[in-house]
Amino acid sequence: MNDLFGLEGEIAVVTGGLGKLGPIWIETLLDAGAAVFVLDRPGQKISEQFAEIQKRFQDNRLRLAYTDVRDRLALETVCKECLEIFGVPSILVNNAGIDRPPDQPQEGYLLEDISMEENREILEVNTLGLFLVTQVFGSEMVKAGRGSIINIGSLYASVSPDSRFYDHIQSDPPFLKPPAYGASKAAVVNLTKYLATHWAPHGVRVNALSPGGVLGDQDEEFKRKFCDRVPLGRMATVQDLGGPLLFLASRASSYVTGIELVVDGGFTAW
């Protein structure tokens, strides 16, 4: 079983590595033996979590490069860098994305006043950017005849955000999750199936991993409301997410492609 889940000698690429979930995927892959090439947008600050990982692994199996996932030429440049440093990637975690979480309060807006620019940016990064990254790095996997691509979705690919989770937040107009966020993640799940069927003959598997609410700096009232809606009665922790990612990245899932693995404590079962 250790051989099935082990990633020794594998090379992974993780986008959005400096965000909230990025360090979870990175550390999971490193601990399983993979080398990890991390991408994030220019100007993004290194988080405490990522800095701790850097201390553990330094440069021998961990590298960081800055690029915009919407820039094809920039992606091709960092892909060449990855090939020169580590070699052809065998794992791609498409994690980069834009959200508007309740633990980062901003000025609210009315549904009818949401700007086209905000919707466009979310869709460009979460869906079109994911596709560009997959084209650039996935094509190298196709040439090599092997690989596992894991697209990070969301429970909101399947259901709409419940606005009652946020009605205690002081905001006028009230806080709203961007409508483009769930739409972008639903598109990611469908795109996963599309890519899986096209690249299966080339030995490349493509799956989606859709987390539920992940415990962070949310206020206590939000956490209470959210957990009341989850059959398991709690939000996801770091330990809950690493295992599912490792399953999809490793040989343990060698006959699994085109699925959405929902890790939400049962949220979408109700």
Amino acid 230: pLDDT:
98
Rounded (to 5) percent helix, strand, coil in the chain: 45, 15, 40
2-269: which CATH architecture?
A: 3-Layer(aba) Sandwich (3.40)
Give the whole-angstrom CA distance, residue 125 versus residue 69. Answer: 7
pLDDT in tens, 185-213: 999 999 999 999 999 999 999 999 999 99
Cα 147 to the center of its chain, rounded Å:
17
Q: Confidence band (pLDDT; 50, 70, 90) for 58?
A: confident
Predicted TM-score (pTM) of the model is 0.95
Is the link from the previous residue into 201 a cis peptide, with omega within 30 of 0?
A: no
Amino acid 91: pLDDT:
98
Q: Confidence band (pLDDT; 50, 70, 90) for 60?
A: confident
Structure tokens at 110: 């009315």
CA 180, 186, 187, 188 torsion-angle sign? positive
Amino acid 51: pLDDT:
95
DSSP class per residue in 53-70: HHHHHTTTSEEEEE--TT
Q: Confidence band (pLDDT; 50, 70, 90) for 107?
A: low
Amino acid 102: pLDDT:
64
Domain map (residue ranges) of the chain? 2-269
pLDDT in tens, 233-265: 999 998 999 999 999 999 999 999 999 999 999
Number of Cβ within 10 Å of residue 141's Cβ equals 25
